[in-house]
Homo-oligomer: A and B are copies of this chain.
Amino acid sequence: MSIPRSKNVTIKEIAAHCDVSPSTVSLVLNNSPKIKASTRERVMKMVDKLDYQPNQMARSLVSRRSKCLSVTVPNLTHVFSDVYFGEIISGIYQEANLSGYKILLDIAQEKFIGDKEYLNILRNRRADGMVYIASTIEDRFLLEFEEQPYPLLLVNHYFPKSQLNFLSVDYKKAAQLAASHLLELGHRRIGLIIGTNTFTGLDFRDTFLEVCEGQGIEKKDLPWCGVKDWDEQEGYEMTKKMLARHPDLTAIMAGNDRMAIGAIRYLSNMNLRVPEDVSVMGMDDIPSARYTNPGLSTLHMDFFRLGELSCRHLLNLLEGKERECRELKEPHLVLRESTGPAKPDLQSSF
């Protein structure tokens, strides 16, 4: 079992059987146009007959390409159970697969960072490039890549002022869409729950508050609180905390759907109706957003597609087809039942 003793068929054997040189076989296998059709055919027949499989290590050694892409995710508990990461990874896999690339999985644990594996994996050619999903403002080690010749692409995050490549949803745009929607519904006191450990999260917060203030809402009516794990639990807790201090909020804006779900759960536990008493808005449009009760109004972001695109861009970068990638994808509103007109304001003067 341990190591297969049966020697594998090599290019040389194919060559011998076909009375050609190994070089010819290699050229055939690489679809070189230099080879005569009849020769090609003869070789291919033998390849099939002997069930030849190219040895990837040998190939990589000389071509200096492993044909692997590293996909790195943050070290969160249950990171692989999060539909957000799941969708992006699936998309990356799909696109990589089309180009014959394999996906090498990595988790940015202490050892990964401490031992500089993020660099070494590229240096010793285990992977030709890396896509890093949802880094945080703490992942400053990534800035090293500004001086390293290895292709790196950040997905759904970026570092302001850095030269690092990224592909992300446009969270400023998202904030505008969400804020406008809530304002149009007449909301004037809105609580915001958002992760503050990413630059994209900070962008969302700042833009959201700006837009609201631009419409004359006062700062004191825009409480917000920062979270770290972006999960249902935090949505629940933060909603509780905010309502305790600001019982007159008419809307909650959550930084993602999971937190929005937590918010809704708290509200219904408190016998507050959504959206009649409080509107709740999410972000991401994960599959379960349509199965919540009430259905969740949110911002749609196609993470599978984002994964596909990010992989495509990374491949372009490492094939030299692109020099840099700093792209934003637009989200769009998906309105379901969890947002509605603000409750008439009893304290107001009209």
Name, among A61, A150, A151, A318, the residue most crowded by chain B CB atoms within 10 Å (CB to CB): A61
CA distance A236 to B97 in the complex (A): 35
Query: Is B87 within 8 A of A78, CB to CB?
Result: yes
**What B residues does A93 contact at CB under 8 A?**
105, 107
With an 8 Å Cβ cutoff, the count of chain A residues facing the other chain is 58
**What B residues does A106 contact at CB under 8 A?**
102-103
CA distance A67 to B56 in the complex (A): 13
**What B residues does A56 contact at CB under 8 A?**
66, 124-126
Query: Is A86 within 8 A of B78, CB to CB?
Result: yes
Q: Per-residue CB proximity of A1-34 to B under 8 Å, as 1/0?
A: 1111110100000000000000000000000000
Query: Is A125 within 8 A of B68, CB to CB?
Result: no
Asked if A184 is at the interface (CB within 8 A of a chain B CB), the reply is no
CA distance A2 to B56 in the complex (A): 20
CA distance A106 to B89 in the complex (A): 11
Query: Is A57 within 8 A of B55, CB to CB?
Result: no
Question: Given the interface contacts A86-B79, A87-B81, does A57 sit within 8 Å of B53 by beta carbon?
Answer: no
Asked if A320 is at the interface (CB within 8 A of a chain B CB), the reply is yes
Asked if A207 is at the interface (CB within 8 A of a chain B CB), the reply is no
CA distance A304 to B151 in the complex (A): 32
The answer, among B81, B83, B104, for a CB contact under 8 Å with A104, is: B104
Asked if A218 is at the interface (CB within 8 A of a chain B CB), the reply is no
Query: Is A1 within 8 A of B151, CB to CB?
Result: yes
Nearest Cβ in chain B — how far from A163, in angstroms? 11
Asked if A317 is at the interface (CB within 8 A of a chain B CB), the reply is yes
Asked if A206 is at the interface (CB within 8 A of a chain B CB), the reply is no
Query: Is A124 within 8 A of B53, CB to CB?
Result: yes
Within 8 A of B (CB), among A101-144: 102-107, 109, 111, 120-121, 123-126
**What B residues does A4 contact at CB under 8 A?**
149-150
Q: Per-residue CB proximity of A190-219 to B under 8 Å, as 1/0?
A: 000000000000000000000000000000
Asked if A287 is at the interface (CB within 8 A of a chain B CB), the reply is yes
**What B residues does A55 contact at CB under 8 A?**
61, 124-125
**What B residues does A1 contact at CB under 8 A?**
149, 151, 317-318, 320, 323-324
Q: Per-residue CB proximity of A243-286 to B under 8 Å, as 1/0?
A: 00000000000000000000000000000000000000000000
**What B residues does A149 contact at CB under 8 A?**
1, 4-6
Asked if A329 is at the interface (CB within 8 A of a chain B CB), the reply is no
Asked if A336 is at the interface (CB within 8 A of a chain B CB), the reply is no
Within 8 A of B (CB), among A61-91: 61, 64, 66, 68, 71, 78-83, 85-87, 89-90
Nearest Cβ in chain B — how far from A263, in angstroms? 15
Q: What is the chain B residue whose CB lies nearest that of A269?
A: B293
Asked if A39 is at the interface (CB within 8 A of a chain B CB), the reply is no
The answer, among B104, B107, B320, for a CB contact under 8 Å with A68, is: B104
**What B residues does A37 contact at CB under 8 A?**
none
Asked if A58 is at the interface (CB within 8 A of a chain B CB), the reply is yes
CA distance A156 to B89 in the complex (A): 23
Residues of A within 8 A of B (CB): 1-6, 8, 53-58, 60-61, 64, 66, 68, 71, 78-83, 85-87, 89-90, 93, 97, 102-107, 109, 111, 120-121, 123-126, 149-151, 232, 287, 291, 317-320, 323-324
